[in-house]
Structure 1
């Protein structure tokens, strides 16, 4: 069997694609590729519309079977190829899209599956809802990403062990530590003022001391004027708006407009050129107008900030750069962790991840606990997209004694394994999940978890390895449907249940180490039986050996 594989995001661009909707499909393809190599030959393509059919024709001339596996949502998978095509996808809602919009027939997934004749999903939950739409006999395979063997080395170091009391992470990126922020609700509203003095501020002088008067007879008292005769107090003169003030206000609003309305629409090379030219122009303007004076405070959004400022567009180049080269541009950082460490990896822009509930429940539960730490590894390229939201949330929750550490960095393999080793529990508070690779990866290394048991997590989450969060159904929309019509269901979480899971897990690792170790063993056993290469390979072998007529 010959397998042709495709994912919209390739290895050279993976670190630039943090937070994109199809970001995780690259890792799913990477995990499946190892298993598929044991079943046949594997070819990875970048342009399926032009590469797949020629490969298929060549294999067919040699009498060889061939199948194209598109690691993409069905609405982004081609349906007009000669080569047999299968969409390998994750889906986390109660039904598949079965309506047309935007004049694209692929938005009705029933049409896509009908053309392909088969499908591969990443969970039994998704396979079940596909059969509900396509019929009970429709050939759909539920096969998770085979991760077990991939984490053999970190599992040998961290599995079935109590978490370390102290650990240290070495990474390249930006670290936001709540203990170093000086959080306060008073800082929620930032008043920006501009000095309206001249370039040469007037000297602040004290009035001269009064001279002693000669000892003379006091003057006779004067009658006080009638109220109507009292002179009206002079109205304070409005401060003059200097040229510097007007330029600062103009620049501030222009930058906000550009970043919110224009920048993400530009090609990367053009956005970078605009940023560089803007920085050069501002430097010249500051020199000409005397902006280096202390009369005007620097604006936090100025383009003339140093290259290490939070402005990720400055770091982007128009050509793909391997992850290692990109990481070398980030500042080095060291993170010291201690106590009970909770970790979660998520995209802050993805509302399904529900990280507000995760953070608020953590800070409330451990508001008087100093040795509890929540590590948020954010999968997002642009720090400015969530930085203010994060700081506002933490300021609203302050004061609290626990610690929230946010990692804005692409972790290489070594740093990622260090994070796994430093973690006591992995936390998931998602409203729905198509698979959740990080959760599975931490469980592969023996880390118990806090998570709900719904959607894809039904396959591998149970009370033996997890503190389960209560959940219930709620109405929702398909995430890629621009009409925003309520057509499906997802889950809402019980916030108090999240707090209970935090407190129970903390008490377990502190007071019941034998129970923690048992949960660690159960987590590994569950993932070995679910996502090992042997298990997934047999599932794939059986699926592809089915007679062709069963797919029709």
Structure 2
């Protein structure tokens, strides 16, 4: 929300350099990221974690959990201590709180070439341009987002500050095909040599009869009932299912079976904790399955067909999920996998567990290539960390990826713009664009990447070294700290002079 300024104002002295007190507001999920992983805006918690060492250099800082009721108070306390408060807003703009009492530095992430500039769903806060125009400084993680904001004519200064990568990312040893690594985590394996007793493969069952809503041989009343059922199911999935616990969803499912006199079906339950061994050629991708930008169908089908007869190849899908979402996302993944009906010997491993920093380091060491098939990106921190670790990529070059992806560090997949809608628009309109990947080139680059790793170690080493250098110059802590300090110098001096007084 935006607090309206009072007509009563006063002039404060200009801030002293290096005397900042940074007040951070961010998503509620930052308090317990293990529980909120994959929920809306969860990635801002990782941005705050990455920025913490930089904020330490600026001076004292703290997270303000309820800025609408405590931000002005915290700012007043900071001024009493001789510090200059700054509000760092790590929120998408529609969730941001801005007040004229504290200079606001907004740090939104955005991956589309146009900005929401209308009241979507009759919600005035969905007009990002209106909200961001009230900020005093806008930071973006990439040049693509900065160019979009400038093109839309936003009033505040705009600066690019990359999200800093941890020093540990640059110290991961080079990939060695002789290594194997073990992780104890919850995961499922689809196909490959470790799932010989999984039963009939996808597509082995007889083709199902057409749904009642579409079957012309059924009576009209059955078709109407079928359509009503489909509408109700869509409403349930869109508005109810996401909020149910695993136990509640299972109980509801079994109750539906009893009402419809169906045999109880086998459900995909949360996988148990088990040991996962990784070796050979490993392609890794980390993403939120519910994010339609991530383009899981192209990713999965290209890998399965490229390595159909390669039991030594593993695709690791690290899902950004949590205990409340895990059950449904595994079901969604299994459904997509089954629909492809591709026989294969390569392994597909879906990790649903929350991985510690040590486990992520082990996964990074086991990885040969990072695989990204996204249609739009606002940063892609996992890809950046993988490049810093000396692991080349197979990825497109668009949106935020233009800052660091080229053929020196990746096998670049060609892509072209296609129309789409803004993700949080309740009345979707095709008024922006993202990128459609060239699937055949993705498939061919996967084969070429495997050939290079196995038969051209010198080229693989050159790509790995180039990736480390690229990310060191772009997103090391030193590079990010320098960019942040320079950006804060663009804060208008008038922003530090405002105050907010309440009349009696």
Q: TM-score, normalised by structure 2?
A: 0.80
| Distance in structure 1 (CA, Å) of the matches to 2:399 and 2:166 | 21
Aligned-pair distance for 1:151? 2.3
Describe the shift of the 1:333–1:30 C-alpha distance in structure 2 as closer, same or farther (beyond 3 A).
same
In structure 1, the partner of 2:215 is: none
Aligned-pair distance for 1:278? 8.5
Aligned-pair distance for 1:272? 8.0
In structure 1, the partner of 2:158 is: 140
Instruction: Report whether the alignment pairs 1:310 with 2:269.
Output: yes
Deviation readout 1:176-200 (Å, 9 max, x if unpaired): 2322135242148689xxxxxxxxx
| Distance in structure 2 (CA, Å) of the matches to 1:515 and 1:273 | 51
Describe the shift of the 1:133–1:57 C-alpha distance in structure 2 as closer, same or farther (beyond 3 A).
same
What are the within-5 Å matches in structure 2 for residues 383-398 of structure 1? 383-395=326-338, 396-398=340-342
In structure 1, the partner of 2:355 is: 411
| Distance in structure 1 (CA, Å) of the matches to 2:129 and 2:239 | 37
In structure 1, the partner of 2:300 is: 359
Of 184, 206, 219, which aligns to 1:171? 184
Structure 2 contact 187–349 (Cα < 8 Å) conserved = no
Instruction: Report whether the alignment pairs 1:124 with 2:124.
Output: no
Deviation readout 1:182-239 (Å, 9 max, x if unpaired): 5242148689xxxxxxxxxxxxxxxxxxxxxxxxxxxxxxxxxxxxxxxxxxxxxxxx
Describe the shift of the 1:451–1:275 C-alpha distance in structure 2 as closer, same or farther (beyond 3 A).
closer
Aligned-pair distance for 1:276? 10
Of 406, 431, 436, which aligns to 1:462? 406
Please give the secondary structure, in 2, of the residue aligned with 1:522.
Answer: helix
Bigger CA drift: 54-63 or 524-533?
Answer: 54-63
Structure 1 contact 452–471 (Cα < 8 Å) conserved = yes
Of 300, 316, 323, which aligns to 2:266? 300
Describe the shift of the 1:403–1:516 C-alpha distance in structure 2 as closer, same or farther (beyond 3 A).
same
Structure 2 contact 135–156 (Cα < 8 Å) conserved = no
| Distance in structure 2 (CA, Å) of the matches to 1:548 and 1:379 | 38
Aligned-pair distance for 1:7? 1.8
Structure 1 contact 75–108 (Cα < 8 Å) conserved = yes
Please give the secondary structure, in 1, of the residue aligned with 2:101.
Answer: coil
| Distance in structure 2 (CA, Å) of the matches to 1:535 and 1:176 | 40
| Distance in structure 1 (CA, Å) of the matches to 2:242 and 2:249 | 14
In structure 2, the partner of 1:204 is: none
Structure 1 contact 124–456 (Cα < 8 Å) conserved = yes
Of 404, 407, 418, which aligns to 1:474? 418
In structure 1, the partner of 2:175 is: 162
| Distance in structure 2 (CA, Å) of the matches to 1:373 and 1:273 | 32
Structure 2 contact 64–71 (Cα < 8 Å) conserved = yes
| Distance in structure 2 (CA, Å) of the matches to 1:457 and 1:378 | 21
| Distance in structure 1 (CA, Å) of the matches to 2:328 and 2:246 | 17
| Distance in structure 1 (CA, Å) of the matches to 2:249 and 2:94 | 35
Please give the secondary structure, in 1, of the residue aligned with 2:334.
Answer: helix
Please give the secondary structure, in 2, of the residue aligned with 1:175.
Answer: strand
| Distance in structure 1 (CA, Å) of the matches to 2:281 and 2:290 | 27
Structure 2 contact 241–249 (Cα < 8 Å) conserved = no
In structure 2, the partner of 1:7 is: 26
Instruction: Report whether the alignment pairs 1:183 with 2:201.
Output: yes
Aligned-pair distance for 1:56? 0.9
Describe the shift of the 1:389–1:118 C-alpha distance in structure 2 as closer, same or farther (beyond 3 A).
same
Structure 1 contact 122–143 (Cα < 8 Å) conserved = yes
Instruction: Report whether the alignment pairs 1:517 with 2:465.
Output: no
Q: TM-score, normalised by structure 1?
A: 0.74
Please give the secondary structure, in 1, of the residue aligned with 2:120.
Answer: coil
- Give unpaired runs (5+ residues) of structure 2: 1-19, 210-229, 497-504
Bigger CA drift: 473-482 or 362-371?
Answer: 362-371
Count, aligned residues: 442
| Distance in structure 1 (CA, Å) of the matches to 2:337 and 2:242 | 31
Bigger CA drift: 441-450 or 173-182?
Answer: 173-182
Instruction: Report whether the alignment pairs 1:432 with 2:379.
Output: no
Please give the secondary structure, in 1, of the residue aligned with 2:453.
Answer: helix
Of 532, 537, 541, which aligns to 2:481? 537
Structure 2 contact 136–492 (Cα < 8 Å) conserved = no
Aligned-pair distance for 1:472? 0.7
In structure 1, the partner of 2:365 is: 421
Of 125, 129, 134, which aligns to 1:115? 134
Please give the secondary structure, in 1, of the residue aligned with 2:46.
Answer: helix
Please give the secondary structure, in 1, of the residue aligned with 2:77.
Answer: helix
Instruction: Report whether the alignment pairs 1:487 with 2:418.
Output: no
In structure 2, the partner of 1:331 is: 272
Of 342, 350, 354, which aligns to 2:283? 342
Instruction: Report whether the alignment pairs 1:377 with 2:377.
Output: no
Describe the shift of the 1:276–1:339 C-alpha distance in structure 2 as closer, same or farther (beyond 3 A).
closer
In structure 1, the partner of 2:4 is: none
Instruction: Report whether the alignment pairs 1:106 with 2:50.
Output: no
Deviation readout 1:381-426 (Å, 9 max, x if unpaired): 3233233443344343421222211112111112111111111000
Please give the secondary structure, in 2, of the residue aligned with 1:58.
Answer: helix
**Structure 1: 4+ residue segments shifted above 6 A:** 256-259, 275-279
Please give the secondary structure, in 1, of the residue aligned with 2:189.
Answer: strand
Structure 2 contact 29–42 (Cα < 8 Å) conserved = no
The two structures, once aligned, show a CA RMSD in angstroms of 2.9
Describe the shift of the 1:101–1:34 C-alpha distance in structure 2 as closer, same or farther (beyond 3 A).
same
Aligned-pair distance for 1:551? 7.0
| Distance in structure 2 (CA, Å) of the matches to 1:384 and 1:274 | 12
Deviation readout 1:85-140 (Å, 9 max, x if unpaired): 122111000111111234433322221122113211111110111111126x7411
Describe the shift of the 1:261–1:469 C-alpha distance in structure 2 as closer, same or farther (beyond 3 A).
closer
In structure 1, the partner of 2:5 is: none
